[in-house]
Amino acid sequence: MRTHKIFNKVFCLLSIGLMLTLYTVANAAEKTTDGAYDGHPRIVILVVIDQFRGDLLARYRDDLKAPNGFNLFLKRGAYFTDCYYKYANTKTAPGHTTIGTGAYTDGHGIASNEWWDLDRATDHPVSSVEDPRYRLVGTFDDLPVLPPPALPPTAPRIGASPRNELASTFGDEVRLATSGRSKLYGISLKDRAAILPAGATANAAYWIDQSTGRFLTSTYYMSQLPDWVTAFNKGPRAAQAMKEADAEGTTQFYDLVGRTAAANSYELDFAEDLIQNEKLGQNGMTDVLTVSLSANDILGHQMGPDSDSQKQMTISLDKQLNDFFSWLDTHVPGGLASTWVVLTADHGISPIPYQAANVGVPAANLDLNALADEINKKLSERYTPGNDTVWMMPLLELPYLSIDRRPFEKLHISEAEAEKAVADLLPAAIATLNGPPEPVEPVVLPGATPPEIKFSETRLKPQPHPVFIRTKTQLLAGDIPATEFGQLVAHSVTSNGGWYVMLELQAYQMEFLNGIQTTHFSPWSYDRHVPLGFFGAPFVPGLYRGVVEPVDIAATITSVLGVNRPSSAVGHVLTQMLRPETTGEQAK
Ligand SMILES: [Zn+2]
């Protein structure tokens, strides 16, 4: 009897404890309230513009007239003019991962879009999200067989997952705080930009099949597309985007439609379908959606940040965002008043080197294939005299020059020694390729008007100049200068990526690019500067100056939501823009 009573008491206490726990968990991101400041919006939407430098909104501000476009952040929200990534490998996959996780590469593990990992593949660099344990999911079977170069529908389609993302995202933390009842989705044209900012616990990430533009996912998330995605794919939307992009019937959707404004409205329409069909914001707790708009990057690499086509795309995006946010206002319960929106970019961009050189900046291109030939020659003379051996991996990209470990291993040469041998050869090899200095001439492309600039007759042509060389072994051992620059490098270190040497060139310099004009990869300000805007009840509208970082997004969102910050987050809470919280007592 007595035992029974004690059992009852314990059971009762346990029940109360359990109820309290459930109540607390539910409160963490639940209890959405329209318009009120209580840290519980119905939806948090993260909009990432792929390759959008932080100065561009200021440059085009007079042309941005839509009330709910960029002005949602510039006039009605909190906007930070000086947001800079504090790391050196400013590429798409690390950028999107940094935004989601609030950590840099040393915290989340993603250093590049792809890297050589000879344990995983010897015929191609593995991408940041490719994962042969999964398959892509789409309704390919009902598609007509496409002419080359498109893959036939029966081709094996390697799946994708966040396997290399070693930290949780703010979306993951919202899901954890609600025992998975909050919903989390990621959308982009690019797989990495859909998967990485959303995180491991996402209900789904959707990106496109590059040939057809149809939205796909991976068996990591599900074995079959939801009916609404199949309906979107079978509907007229892809054909309409092709028409808008002047590429009717194309089998190169990503390249030809992807570089136009039509791709942005295509993605935003898909986002609206997702919000409606997955009932985001109707859940009684906070849902999270990440949307990465890829078109700016695809066009920007081809035309450069200073082109008129980029300006026009920005003006189009202003109207497209206005349409999307106005749609949200009328289609999500509570409208924009119970929605938080964050705007940022995964990286900036360099001016096109010849255009910068024409203004007088020491900009230049380095031929990485010729550099690899020179290094291969010198290493062969040293290690395999009389035999030409290939020591560097193909498809080199800055800042990480990948080394083929196999010929070194045959000679029992360690990673540290191999990397040092390559690093030691780099300055002389670059000098050999440069040759003697010659007078500078403005570059005029065929058909273009010559620039107005006149250089002194004795001015010399800028040449590629290495400013920082470190082996992976040195980087992992912390052999990095204790300077501001060193901190950028330290934040970029990961053990991923086989054997390599990190090479940083002087600012405004880059490799010769294949088929595009400019790129982003460097520790320099133009690659690290991005917009940062917040719209929502807790954020006091205004223009905020002073340096902040994209890692502050996850730190701030999780703080105001009252959930844990992501597992490796290092950002600061942007307290300067937070509305003071009023307690019930103060209000009396
Ligand atoms: Zn890019």
**219/25: higher pLDDT:** 219
**pLDDT of 438:** 92
Torsion of CA 167, 195, 54, 268, to 10 degrees: -150
526 CA from centroid of ligand 1 (Å)? 13
Percent of residues, the chain, with pLDDT higher than 70: 89
Give the amino acid at 548: V
**Ligand 1 centre distance from Cα of residue 91 (Å):** 7
Q: Which residues contact 378 (CB under 8 A, 6 or more apart)?
A: 425, 429
> pLDDT for 421-465, tens place per residue?
999 999 999 999 999 999 888 888 888 888 778 888 889 999 999
Average pLDDT over residues 53-65: 97
For ligand 1, the distance from its centroid to the CA atom of residue 564, given in whole angstroms, is 31
Residue percentage of the chain with pLDDT more than 90: 81
Distance (angstroms) between ligand 1 centre and the Cα of 213 equals 19
Strands (E) across 426-552 are located at 466-471, 499-505, 509-511, 529-535, 542-544
534 CA → ligand 1 middle, Å: 24
Q: Is residue 26 scored above 60 in pLDDT?
A: no
User: How many whole angstroms from 33 Cα to the centroid of ligand 1?
Assistant: 39
For the cut 50, the answer to whether the pLDDT of residue 60 exceeds it is yes
- Banded model confidence at residue 147, pLDDT cuts 50, 70, 90: very low
Give pLDDT, residue 38. 54
What's the 588 CA to ligand 1 centre distance in angstroms? 53
More confident call, 452 vs 250: 250
Please tell me the distance between residue 346's alpha carbon and the centre of ligand 1 in angstroms: 9
- Quote the ligand 1 centre to 260 CA distance (angstroms): 15
More confident residue, 16 or 491: 491
Report how far ligand 1's centroid is from the alpha carbon of 586 (Å): 49
- What is the C-alpha to C-alpha distance for residues 443 and 437, in angstroms, rounded to an integer? 16
Q: Give 191's strand partners.
A: none
pLDDT of residue 582: 57
Distance 112 CA to ligand 1 centre (A): 11
Distances (CA, A) of 282 to 111, 183, 195, 312, 557: 37, 10, 23, 36, 20
Q: Is 219 exposed, middle or buried (0-12, 13-18, 19+ CB in 10 A)?
A: middle
What Rg do the C-alpha atoms of the chain give, in angstroms? 26
More confident: 17 or 371: 371
Residue 161 to residue 133: CA distance in whole angstroms: 9
Q: How far, in Å, is the centroid of ligand 1 from the Cα of 113?
A: 10
Q: Quickly tell me which residue has 């990961």 as its tokens.
A: 494
pLDDT band at residue 31 under the 50/70/90 scheme: low
Q: How far is the CA of 518 from the centre of ligand 1 (A)?
A: 9
* Residue 136 CA, ligand 1 centroid: distance in Å: 23
Give the Å distance between the CA of 32 and the centre of ligand 1: 37
Statement: residue 20 has pLDDT above 90: no
Q: How far is the CA of 93 from the centre of ligand 1 (A)?
A: 10
In the reported structure, the alpha carbon of residue 587 is separated from the centroid of ligand 1 by a whole-number distance in angstroms of: 49
Model confidence over 517-554: pLDDT tens digits? 999 999 999 999 999 999 999 999 999 999 999 999 99
Of residues 17, 48, 265, the one with CA closest to residue 171: 48
90 Cα–ligand 1 center, Å: 9
In this prediction, residues 245-257 reach a mean pLDDT of 95
Tell me the backbone φ, ψ of residue 337, rounded to 5 degrees.
Answer: -65, -25
**Distance of CA 330 from the midpoint of ligand 1 (Å):** 34
Backbone angles phi, psi at 460, to 5 degrees: -95, 155
Calculate how far, in angstroms, residue 456's C-alpha sits from the geometric centre of ligand 1. 35
pTM here is 0.91
- What is the distance between the alpha carbons of residues 69 and 404, in angstroms, rounded to a whole number? 48
**What separation in Å is there between the alpha carbon of 67 and the centre of ligand 1?**
29
Ligand 1 centroid distance, CA of 521 (Å): 9
Residues 234-238: what's their mean pLDDT?
A: 95
Distance 42 CA to ligand 1 centre (A): 32
The pLDDT of residue 515 is: 85
What are the phi and psi torsion angles at 133 (to 5°)?
-75, -10
Tokens (6 digits) for 212: 């057809």
pLDDT tens for 408-432 read 999 999 999 999 999 999 999 999 9
Q: State residue 447's pLDDT score.
A: 83
The token pair that represents 429 in the structure block: 């090899």
pLDDT computed for residue 583 by the predictor: 52
Q: Measure 63 CA to ligand 1 centroid, in angstroms.
A: 25
For residue 259, the CA-to-ligand 1 centroid distance in Å is 12
| Distance between Cα 75 and ligand 1 center (Å) | 29
CA of 530 to the centre of ligand 1 (A): 13
183-233 pLDDT tens trace: 999 999 999 999 999 999 999 999 999 999 999 999 999 989 999 999 999
Q: How confident is the model at residue 12 (pLDDT cuts 50, 70, 90)?
A: very low
In this structure, what are the phi and psi dihedrals at residue 331, rounded to the nearest 5 degrees? -110, -15
pLDDT at position 441 is 84
Secondary structure (DSSP) of 475-489: HHTT---SSHHHHHH
Span from the CA of 474 to the centroid of ligand 1 (angstroms): 28
